[in-house]
Structure 1
Amino acid sequence: MVQETHLKPRLSNACKISNFVQLRTDRQGAPKGGTALYYNRSLYCCPIDTPPLVNIEATACRLSMTGHGILILVSVYLPPKKKLLRSDLEALFALGDAVILFGDFNSKSTNWNCNYTNSNGRKMEALAEDIHFNIIPTFTNHYHNNDNYRPDI
């Protein structure tokens, strides 16, 4: 799963990995952004169309495994200046019975060991309780060039 790929449609062969299928959604008409996901060619995976979204950028696939139900995997990016919208999350969760969203939601909460809580973090916590999904934060993944800043999730 990759967020903020910065890839553009004119670079259709960029970032290919041998023996992996690359699915990507490039941001149109603005710099940066974009999402991608890679899966090994040996997996029973196929791309699926993402529903229309307002603020979230996403790339999705359907993964089938023998003896298990179908999983929908989605690489998600919410730009930092965009608000987290219930409608975007509901549209993605409606893709299947078992949907896993991976990504950068630019949503921070001290409950996830972030240095502070922002409005998207408060909204994410409220939506998790309201529409029943779990939030599993990552380990520290953002390091600043300035030593005066602490790493953050």
Structure 2
Amino acid sequence: MHPDCTAHGGSAIIIKSNIKHYETEPFRTPKIQATSVVVEDWRGHLTVTALYSPPKHVIKKEEYINFFKTLGPRFIAGGDYNSKNTQWGSLLTTPRGRQLQAAINDLHLNTISSGEPTYWPTDPEKVPDLVDFGIVKGIPTGCFKCTSLQELSSDHSVVLLEVSQKFTCSNSMAMLHEHL
């Protein structure tokens, strides 16, 4: 849910029911809305985060750093950053993309993307570009496979981020964790 308690934006995570996990407190500001779940893999706790960042806000490097620090020492934070930088495959670099890249550099994070456009504007004056991707910490980038899928009738492609890790399993029931 958005911090103003209205339905727009948001994020969701689907976790396979036999993977041991728990939901953490959602991160909700007007600039970043994120849902996080902690799973256990063979190395310990790993935070998996889905986020949405509305395009209308200016976000400074320090705000990104503060957000990433809430995720712990190992995380995957994927979603619609609405931020462009050639470092993760966008056609151009925006001021917001420079701020995010500065935070990534300061915290020694890595980006994971398909390298393909993920946003398909309806405005014919705009060109498709990449704004949906993942940022990771504490996991080798070789453990990921990232693919853009044209599965939904949306102006964004689905980005499938597959992780080759061994997760701890449990016998709990399946649950959908979402915050719209």
Normalization by structure 1: what TM-score? Answer: 0.70
Higher RCO (CA-CA < 8 Å; seq separation 6+): 2
Structure 1 residue corresponding to 2:98, chosen from 104, 122, 133: 122
Q: Aligned letter for 1:152?
A: D
The offset of 1:78, in angstroms, is 0.9
Aligned to 1:142: 119
Distance in 2 between the 1:54 and 1:152 partners? 23
With normalisation by structure 2, the TM-score equals 0.61
Matches within 5 A, 1:4-15: none
Residues 93, 99 of structure 1: 8 Å contact kept: no
- Higher strand proportion (structure 1 or 2): 2
Residues 38 and 48, structure 2, Cα contact 8 Å, conserved in 1: yes
Cα gap change, 1:70 to 1:81, in 2 (>3 Å): same
- Per the alignment, residue 12 of structure 1 pairs with none
> Aligned letter for 2:56?
K
Q: Distance in 1 between matches of 2:98 and 2:89?
A: 14
Secondary structure in structure 1 of the residue aligned to 2:15: strand
Asked whether the 8 Å contact 1:75–1:101 carries over to 2, the reply is yes
SS of the residue aligned with 1:106? coil
Q: Establish whether residue 111 from structure 1 lines up as the match of residue 81 from structure 2.
A: no
Question: Secondary structure of the residue that 1:128 maps to in structure 2?
Answer: helix
Distance 1:142 1:95, change over 3 A: closer
How many pairs are equivalent? Answer: 127
Cα distance in 2 for partners of 1:53, 1:151 equals 27
- CA distance in structure 1 between the aligned counterparts of 2:56 and 2:125, rounded to whole angstroms: 23
The root-mean-square deviation of aligned C-alpha atoms, in Å, is 2.3
Answer yes or no: is 1:82 the counterpart of 2:31: no
Structure 2: runs of 5 or more not aligned:
131-180
1:69 aligns with 2:44: yes
Identical columns (%): 25
